[in-house]
Amino acid sequence: MHRIPLQRSLSSYDPVCPSEREYKKRIVHFMENNNDCFERSLAIGHITASCWLLNKDHSEALMLHHAKLNRWFQLGGHCDGDPDTLAVALKEAQEESGIMGIAPLSIDIFDIDVHLIPDNPKEKAHYHYDIRYLLHVVSDEQLVQNSESKELRWIEKNRHALPTDNPSVVRMFDKWVSL
> Among the residues of the chain, which ranges form H helices?
4-12, 18-33, 85-97, 167-177
> How many residues can be counted in the chain?
179
Q: What is the pLDDT at residue 68?
A: 85
Q: What is the pLDDT at residue 88?
A: 99
Q: What is the pLDDT at residue 147?
A: 92
How far is 63 from 69, CA to CA, in rounded Å?
A: 14
CB-count burial class (<10 Å; 0-12, 13-18, 19+) for 76:
buried
> Average pLDDT for residues 132-138, to the nearest whole number?
99
Question: What angle separates helix 18-33 from helix 167-177, to the nearest 10 degrees?
Answer: 110
Q: Is the pLDDT assigned to residue 1 strictly greater than 80?
A: no
Task: Place 50 in a pLDDT band, splitting at 50, 70 and 90.
Answer: very high
75 sits in which H/E element: strand 75-78
Residue boundaries of the structural domains of the chain:
4-177
> Average pLDDT for residues 157-174, to the nearest whole number?
97
> Average pLDDT for residues 47-72, to the nearest whole number?
97
Task: Place 120 in a pLDDT band, splitting at 50, 70 and 90.
Answer: confident
The 10 Å CB-count burial string (b at 16+, else e) for 96-107 is bbebeebebbee
Rounded to two decimals, the pTM is 0.97
Q: What is the pLDDT at residue 82?
A: 98
| pLDDT per position as a tens digit, 66-104 | 998 899 999 999 999 999 999 999 999 999 999 999 999
What CATH fold (topology level) applies to the domain 4-177? Nucleoside Triphosphate Pyrophosphohydrolase (3.90.79)
